[in-house]
Amino acid sequence: MKVLVTVTLKKDVLDPQGKVVRQTLKNMGYNEIENVRQGKYFEIGLNVNDKNKAEKIVQEICNKLLVNTIIENYTINYKE
Amino acid sequence: MKSSVIVFPGSNCDRDIAVALEKFQIKNQMVWHDEINLPKSDLVVLPGGFSYGDYLRTGAIASKSKIINDVIKHGKNGGLILGICNGFQILIEIGLLPGVLLRNKKLRFLSKNVFLKVINIKNNFCSEYIKKDIIQLPIAHNEGNYFGNNNLIQKLEDNNLIAFKYCDKQGLIEENSNPNGSSNNIAGILNKEKNILGMMPHPERLIDPLLSGEDGSILFKSLLKS
């Protein structure tokens, strides 16, 4: 099973990298860009067939290592 | 007094802190992150550097090292723990100190001397700063922007758990003297029991009157009195 985890900064957390990317895009002439928030993306190969078990493991690793839940949100997608 | 300095792949201030500890007759041992048992210590130091190349988040990978279980036990039993720079980031990732260290507000790596006001002297790390509470120490970091929600910052202020704040030469704590955007100019914090200190500035770099000055020495002298 393949698991895709996307980690994004929470709404109120300052994202200086995203700001710089947005400014650069503006400098390049893309005036339509309103804002950019930069995040992280993980592709995880999982040796588990049972979806419930997979969910339990992925939730755990997100909370324990992949995500700092004080400042970050995450979404999980499972692909068979 | 006995100390252990934990060395991670990518630590680079481990030798400096060892020299500082030994200068003040603290019997120090270097401990590799992969060890399981912490030697008997009064003080554990997590040194500055770039453990694991700052992969994932600063301090995140180091916070899961094998030795950390014993470091947590040491802290919970009241043992002293000092985290400097990357060590502070690791303490936060372990969860021994609250909040989070974000990237510097202006996105630049900062390497310079800053003025600090010692806010809390009633702890084992800072007692000797009673004689001098405006000091100058170097910072060298990319992620030192201390952030916490309003509740947390208020709690730190109310319980007097902020050890150091960035200030100007006169000791004035204001936006202009804040190098990295930290909430309330916070440069170092203590846990509730005040046996754990995390700080971004480097006291181990100011221990020699000929080379640098001794504003860092005071911290080690305080430890000796603890």
Say what the ipTM of the complex is.
0.79
pLDDT in tens, B39-70: 999 999 999 999 999 999 999 999 999 999 99
Query: Which among B1, B85, B16, B76 is positioned nearest to B51, based on CA atoms?
Result: B85
Report CB contact under 8 Å: B60, A68. yes
Q: How many angstroms separate the most distant Cα atoms in chain B?
A: 46
Mean pLDDT calculated for residue range B66-83:
98
Q: For position B107, what pLDDT does the model report?
A: 86
- Chain B residues closer than 8 Å to A20 by CB: 107
Nearest residue, CB atoms, B107 vs list A16, A66, A70: A16
Which residues, 6 or more positions from B211, have their beta carbon under 8 angstroms from its beta carbon? none
Query: Which among B51, B67, B86, B95 is positioned nearest to B4, based on CA atoms?
Result: B67
- To the query of whether residue B214 is one of the catalytic residues in this protein, the response is no
Alpha-carbon distance A26 to nearest alpha carbon in chain B (angstroms): 19
pTM: predicted TM-score of the whole model, two decimal places: 0.92
- Chain B residues closer than 8 Å to A71 by CB: 100, 102, 147
- Chain B residues closer than 8 Å to A13 by CB: 102, 147
Closest A-chain CA to B105: A16
- To the query of whether residue B128 is one of the catalytic residues in this protein, the response is no
Report CB contact under 8 Å: A68, B57. yes
Nearest residue, CB atoms, A68 vs list B100, B105, B181: B100
Q: For position B226, what pLDDT does the model report?
A: 81
Identify the H or E element spanning B5.
strand B2-7
- To the query of whether residue B141 is one of the catalytic residues in this protein, the response is no
Q: Is the CA virtual torsion B16, B18, B19, B21 positive or negative?
A: positive
The one catalytic residue in B13, B85, B126, B167 is: B85
User: Residue A73 — pLDDT band, cuts 50, 70, 90?
Assistant: very high
| % of chain A surpassing 90 pLDDT | 84
The one catalytic residue in B93, B128, B143, B204 is: B204
Mean pLDDT calculated for residue range A46-51:
93
Angle between helices B68-76 and B86-94 (to 10 degrees): 80
- Chain A residues closer than 8 Å to B57 by CB: 68
Residue A80: pLDDT over 80: no
| % of chain B surpassing 70 pLDDT | 100
B22-to-B4, B32, B210 alpha-carbon distances in Å: 11, 18, 18
Report CB contact under 8 Å: A13, B60. no
Half-sphere exposure of B5 (CA within 13 A, CB side): 24
